[in-house]
Structure 1
Amino acid sequence: MPSIKDSKCILIIGSTAGLGRALALSILALPSKPTVIVCGRRQERLDELVEAHGTDGRLKGFKLDVLADRASLKASVADVVQQYPGLDAVMFMSGIQHEYDFTEPESVDLDKVVDELNTNYLSVINMITFFLPHLIKVGKAGQPSFIYTVTSGLAVVPGPWVPNYCATKAALHSLSLTLNAQLKDQNVHVVEILPPLVESELHDHQGKREVLSKIWMPLDEFTALTMQELKSNDVQIPIGSSAKDYETFETGKLDAVNKLYEGRKAATQRK
């Protein structure tokens, strides 16, 4: 299977800070010299990033808010495809995380629940649907195309303190498995990254940065490990402590999904 080394133009949604920013700059540094489009809702961060690292013209910026309505998301996808017709890969990095205590149900902020669901899952499935006509066309023309989803080790073994976050990542994990099965014959390759707890702004609003900093994986280490795996032909990439849970609970699942899908196709064709 092709890998990120074969990508010529990649859009990274949610790449103005944290994991997304670090991966964007590492991908930009690949010897294959791809065009990297950093994407986020804060124009000033996009401008700063491109100004600091885009001296050779391969780093571009594109403003997009994943919480925009469906019509706006569709229009943004159309705009980026029009501006960058060579786009062959999209990586979805955006994510938010909130803690909820259902032993005190009156404390659960359902508006935050909805925002978390929209950011971590619904916006992703919407944008994947809007990008796929272009990516399938690219794949059929002979250039491998890629969808990179970023879930979490918590998609495999949920952390009860962030129940909705885990549910959204589990949904994206399941979607990644099924899209992998459906799209593999279209030369569209679906790759899922499953990070552990990583140094990130994701946790700043929780007021627990000092505590978590004692146990999380440093961002530089995560980035190096992830880039190493992205250069391989693996379609699921559990990093650090996520790898142990993945091995325990997920071994063989992708093969089972593909077998189920192929069996269903064969049965349908016989009718």
Structure 2
Amino acid sequence: MPGIGDCKCVLVIGATAGIGRALALAIHALPSKPTVIVSGRRQQRLDELSKVGERIEAVRFDVNGNREDLKAFVQDITSRFPDLDAVIFSSGIQHIFDFNKPENIDLDVLETELNTNYTSIVRLITFFLPQFLKLSAEGRPSYLVPISSGLAIVPKASTPNYCATKAALHSLSMSLFQQLKDTNVHIIEIMPPLVESELHDHQGTTPVLSKFWMPLNTFTEYVMEGLKRGDFQITPGTSGENWERFEKGKLENIR
């Protein structure tokens, strides 16, 4: 299967930091010289990214908009960039919840985490698919790239909702892979282990986690090789170890 290295135009949703930013820059550096659209909430960071290369286009976008906002965003992007043939879904937030103290759980925060990490992605995939199925009918491959997590396989008890959202996205990715296997629309799921990022800064756990996490550069190099090959699941580090233990062979049993 051809990989993302042959794409003409790639949209990275959640590109203002961490994994999303690193992948956007790595894709921009591909020999095929694709246009890279970077989106996120922080305009200053988008402006900084847009200055890196002439083929980087910045579009401010909040995945927590309502359904009509998301649909309008997709319609605008596909109209402005008709060659769009890949979308990477990198937006994500993580919160600690202690269900031993249910009175302290902020359900607004919990539901925002659910929407950011899962519901908004399902909506966006639904809205992008008509464009990609049209490309498929024309014989052109396209790629939907959800970023789930190794925690979708083995959860961490302190972040139960985050792990549940990533497990849902992992399950969705496998089902979509099977549903779309007779089209030219390809699913590539990235399942990061603990990776260097800003994800944990608000939790105060970054100093401890930084002793164990995979460096962002190492992660990006590994993932880019999988994207260029067109691998269905890309599982660096401990994610790969847990995939071998608990997930191997599962996809073949999905009907």
Q: TM-score range by the shorter chain?
A: over 0.9
What are the within-5 Å matches in structure 2 for residues 1-271 of structure 1?
1-51=1-51, 53-54=52-53, 57-257=54-254, 260=255
The structure whose residues are more often helix, as a share, is 1
Cα deviation code 1:98-148 (max 9, x no counterpart): 001111111211111100000000000000000000011011111100000
Q: Kindly state the Cα deviation for residue 233 of structure 1 after the two structures are TM-superposed.
A: 3.1
Q: Distance in 2 between matches of 1:112 and 1:35?
A: 35
Q: Kindly state the Cα deviation for residue 74 of structure 1 after the two structures are TM-superposed.
A: 0.4
Paired residue type of 1:133: P
SS at match of 1:202: coil
Q: Distance in 2 between matches of 1:111 and 1:5?
A: 39
After TM superposition, the structure 1 stretch with the greater mean CA deviation from structure 2, 122-131 or 176-185, is 176-185
Paired residue type of 1:163: P
The CA RMSD measured in Å over matched residues stands at 0.8
Q: Aligned pairs, how many?
A: 255
Misfit runs of 4+, over 6 Å: none
Cα deviation code 1:175-232 (max 9, x no counterpart): 0001011112120000100000011011100011111101111111111111122122
Query: Would you say the 8 A contact 2:188–2:230 is kept in 1?
Result: no
Paired residue type of 2:83: G
Q: Distance in 2 between matches of 1:95 and 1:237?
A: 18
SS at match of 2:182: helix
Q: Distance in 2 between matches of 1:2 and 1:91?
A: 16
SS at match of 1:159: coil
What is the TM-score normalised by the length of structure 2? 0.98
What is the TM-score normalised by the length of structure 1? 0.92
Q: Distance in 1 between matches of 2:7 and 2:204?
A: 38
Paired residue type of 1:42: R
Q: Kindly name which structure, 1 or 2, has the bigger radius of gyration based on alpha carbons.
A: 1
SS at match of 1:37: strand
